[in-house]
Amino acid sequence: MVTRLAVKKVFMQTFGCQMNKLDSELALGRLVRAGYCVVRDKSDADVILLNTCSVRQHAEDKVFSHLGALKRLKEKRPGLVVGVLGCMAQKEGRKLAKRFDIVDLVCGPRRIADLVPLLGKCNGSGPVVAVDGDRRSGNRAVSFEADRAVECRPMKHHAYVGVMAGCDNFCSYCVVPYLRGAEVSRPPADIVEEVRRLADDGCVEITLLGQNVNSYGVGLEPKVTLADLLAMLDPIDGIERINFVTSHPKDLTRELCEAVAALPKVCEYLHVPPQSGSDKILGLMKRGYTSKHYREMLTMAREVIPDVEIAGDFIVGFPSETEEDFMRTLSLLKDAEFLNCFVFKYSPRPGTAAAELEDDVPDEVKRERNQRLLQAQEEISLRKRRALIGHTVEALVEGPSKRDASRMTGRTRNNYIVHFESPGNLAGRLVTVRITAATPLAVTGDVVEQ
Ligand code: SAH
Ligand code: SF4
Ligand code: F3S
């Protein structure tokens, strides 16, 4: 008698940052090569994986509520395997499986390379837990994996490329250095080879990822900087655009800005979060710069890179933040003229230095400050986008618009979102669009040239 093993169907849901999106893609690639099939609906799946984020309590609460809902699904289908991957898995470890008895696998971000054998051990006889005890272990694993499964690339024309993993900055509020481990840069030759392969596979745009991407190269021999890496990637045929995130203000050098300006494929867009405009708060956050330094960095970047657009993040309600501190933040936001700005309410993370300080800003004050920053940014965002009305821009098409499938969405080199009517799916193509309307989030126009 011939027994046939049924193909295992796997469903992955990803929370958190781009790093997690990349990890999910690479993890699914490994599973597909091991014979699993990826499904889009969790009710079809034999294995459900949640790739999780711990950066704020809210991110964790979302996963807890998903796990609550999965309990019912598992009651109906006892053979279902549930795995928690990523930062929350590393943070919570075995506690997660204790709290949720439906969890079969807990796998930290630096263990995702072992996902296939780990799932093989999930046989219903108790949870499998794979997390790193030490910051220095593991960081060569999945992020540095060069062979990706073509069928798992979410977008044909775009790919994330991990250039470094971990973070050594230890900003006082942040849990990432504890979960992603020590900072390690990937050798440039590996990255160049991966990007060549992506280009051969039809990829035209890459985004280089690192928690602190502009410190790329620290510890590598011979010494190499992000500017050097960009210069190595720029000549690769087929690649049209190169982006990198996230930059730390203290490491944003003139040399890097000059490389962005000089290299034709490197896009004029920087994400450089200031986090606060108050020097007292920046000191408590251990960010390593002052508000004056941040403003000087912005001026330098704008002088060196024509048409550059900059995005920022702020945290409001950090311990001891007064109205005066907040006004300094508001004033920095107004002066910075960001293209986009993300604003987060401070969320104490156990184990971080800031968690030792009293979380003394009431939630309603955090919410109100959050609203005030977002409102001020909305005015700037709208003004910047309205200024494009009547002009033509070049956009790289991403695909059909999420809100209205009859329209396509693309981005300019400096990261403006552009919507336009299109006769067909132009994903991956460059189009010229004359802008006719603007909202704080996007501009709309008509294609004048494909
Ligand atoms: N490495 C990147 C991003 C880290 S996490 C950087 O340094 O910029 C993304 C954003 O989450 C941060 O920029 C910060 O604004 C926010 N963040 C991190 N920890 C937080 C916390 N404990 N509470 C609220 N927001 C936080
Ligand atoms: Fe967190 Fe700071 Fe590292 Fe960013 S640079 S990941 S905010 S510790
Ligand atoms: Fe979240 Fe981990 Fe990214 S905590 S923001 S998924 S590095």
Report residue 320 CA to chain centroid gap. 29
Q: Which two tokens stand for residue 353?
A: 């230095």
- Decide whether any atom of ligand 2 lies within 6 Å of the 413 Cβ: no
Find the CATH number of the domain harbouring 79: 3.40.50.12160
pLDDT in tens, 336-374: 999 999 999 999 999 999 999 999 999 999 999 999 999
Confidence tier at 146 by pLDDT (50, 70, 90): low
- What is the pLDDT, as a whole number, of residue 5? 61
Shared-domain flag, residues 205 and 353: yes
- What is the pLDDT, as a whole number, of residue 52? 98
Q: Which residue among 176, 250, 252, 287 has the greatest number of ligand 2 atoms within 8 angstroms of its CB, and so is best to mutate?
A: 176
Residue at which a domain ends, from 355, 382, 409: 382
- What is the pLDDT, as a whole number, of residue 142? 46
Shared-domain flag, residues 309 and 432: no
Phi first, then psi, for residue 255 (nearest 5°) are: -60, -45
The protein residue whose alpha carbon is closest to atom 3 in ligand 3 is 17
Helices 226-233, 254-262: axis angle to 10 degrees equals 10
What is the rounded distance in angstroms from the CA atom of residue 250 to the CA atom of residue 214? 9
Which run of H or E residues covers position 244?
strand 241-245
CA of 199 to the centre of ligand 3 (A): 28
CA of 130 to the centre of ligand 2 (A): 24
What is the rounded distance in angstroms from the CA atom of residue 75 to the CA atom of residue 225? 52
Shared-domain flag, residues 414 and 378: no
Confidence tier at 423 by pLDDT (50, 70, 90): confident
What is the rounded distance in angstroms from the CA atom of residue 165 to the CA atom of residue 213? 9
Structural domain boundaries, residue 316: 150-382
Q: What is the pTM of this model?
A: 0.96
Residues 84-92, mean pLDDT to the nearest whole number: 97
Shared-domain flag, residues 188 and 101: no
Shared-domain flag, residues 226 and 328: yes
Helix residue spans in 319-420 (DSSP H) = 323-336, 363-386
> What count of other Cβ atoms lies within 10 Å of the Cβ of residue 413?
20
- Decide whether any atom of ligand 3 lies within 6 Å of the 204 Cβ: no
Q: Which residue among 54, 167, 168, 174 has the greatest number of ligand 1 atoms within 8 angstroms of its CB, and so is best to mutate?
A: 174
Shared-domain flag, residues 67 and 216: no
Tally of domains in the chain: 3
CA of 176 to the centre of ligand 3 (A): 6
**What rounded mean pLDDT belongs to the chain?**
94
Q: Quick check: is 387 in a domain? A: no
Q: Which residue among 55, 164, 315 has the greatest number of ligand 3 atoms within 8 angstroms of its CB, and so is best to mutate?
A: 55
Q: Quick check: is 345 in a domain? A: yes
pLDDT at 140 over 70: no
Q: Quick check: is 191 in a domain? A: yes
Find the CATH number of the domain harbouring 259: 3.80.30.20
Q: Which two tokens stand for residue 227?
A: 């500017």
pLDDT at 431 over 80: yes
- Decide whether any atom of ligand 2 lies within 6 Å of the 110 Cβ: no
Ligand number with the minimum distance to the CA of 273:
1
pLDDT in tens, 93-126: 999 999 999 999 999 999 998 999 999 999 988 9
Shared-domain flag, residues 290 and 186: yes
- What is the pLDDT, as a whole number, of residue 199? 95
- Among 167, 96, 160, residue whose Cα is nearest residue 130: 96
What is the rounded distance in angstroms from the CA atom of residue 354 to the CA atom of residue 320? 11
Shared-domain flag, residues 277 and 205: yes
Could you give the percent of the chain with pLDDT greater than 70? 97
Q: Which two tokens stand for residue 69?
A: 């809902």
Pocket of ligand 1 (CB under 6 A): 55-56, 173-174, 176, 211-212, 246, 248, 273, 275, 313, 315, 344, 346-347, 349
Ligand number with the minimum distance to the CA of 54:
3
Q: Quick check: is 142 in a domain? A: no
Residues 237-246, mean pLDDT to the nearest whole number: 98
Peptide bond just before 222 cis, omega within 30 deg: yes
pLDDT in tens, 199-227: 999 999 999 999 999 999 998 999 999 99
Shared-domain flag, residues 98 and 162: no
pLDDT in tens, 242-290: 999 999 999 999 999 999 999 999 999 999 999 999 999 999 999 999 9
pLDDT in tens, 25-61: 999 998 998 999 999 999 889 999 999 999 999 999 9
pLDDT in tens, 6-18: 789 999 999 999 9
Shared-domain flag, residues 250 and 371: yes
